[in-house]
Chains A and B, each alone.
Chain A
Amino acid sequence: QLQLQESGPGLVKPSETLSLTCTVSGASISTSAYYWAWIRQPPGRGLEWIGTVYYNGDTYYNPSLNSRVTISVDTSRDQFSLRLSSVTAADTAVFYCARHGTMIRGGFDSWGQGSLATVSS
């Protein structure tokens, strides 16, 4: 059974870089059928897609975050990672990793439990 698990620091200082890792278990991240995404949800607010990585390293980013986001994949560890630079309090959110197919045609069908990252000094 596929499982995704986010990990990373729960507290980040303003202007620093937020780093999170998603570990995939129960299936290989190196499958041509799926893509791997980061989605965030600020407290009390809606969902926002951050970006997606394919097993071969291709990346796709939300244009509104593109200048601050880097997503990478480590197929040897079945992990993919998010780096969000120059964070502010507005970046405080629960960050989810999720899986989807081509063009999101099958939706985000598997999600991690979420990791709260708070930006505060």
Chain B
Amino acid sequence: QSALTQPRSVSGSPGQSVTISCTGTRSDVGTYNFVSWYQQHPGKVPKLMIYAVSERPSGVPDRFSGSKSGNTASLTISGLQADDEADYYCCSYAGSYTHVVFGGGTRLTVL
């Protein structure tokens, strides 16, 4: 059981928007604005898509956006494309004892 809770799967049609939630606690997501999101295609290395809740690394399309409300962070992908089909993982700093927690991952299917 992962420390952060994500839906097992989400889906959307090309051009649509989808949102993936990531629910933690006051000990991680609720306290720290250090939530990051990773995209992982099958057999590939995870790629950083969002950091510090809503910041995009250079090269990541602005179709990807992040937000947070309370203990839940969200990743929204707009204008879905076929290549967005992948697994997505959230991650949060969790303080000086636990340090780092990941979500269990969400499989995005582009219909």
Contacts and interface: CB of A to CB of B under 8 A. Distances in A.
B109 to A, nearest CB: 16
Interface in B97-111: 97-105
Contacts of B89: 46-47
Interface size class of A (residues with CB under 8 A): 20 to 34
A61 B100 CA distance: 9
Interface string A27-63: 0000000000100000000111100100000001111
B51 A49 contact: no
A26 interface: no
B46 interface: yes
A104 B46 contact: no
Contacts of A37: 100
Contact of B52 (A63, A106, A108, A111): A106
B45 A114 contact: yes
B81 to A, nearest CB: 22
A36 to B, nearest CB: 13
A46 B51 contact: no
B46 A111 contact: yes
B99 A46 contact: no
Contacts of B91: 47, 49, 104, 107-108
Would you list the 8 A-B pairs with minimal beta carbon distance, nearest first?
A107-B36, A107-B51, A49-B100, A46-B105, A107-B48, A47-B102, A103-B93, A104-B93
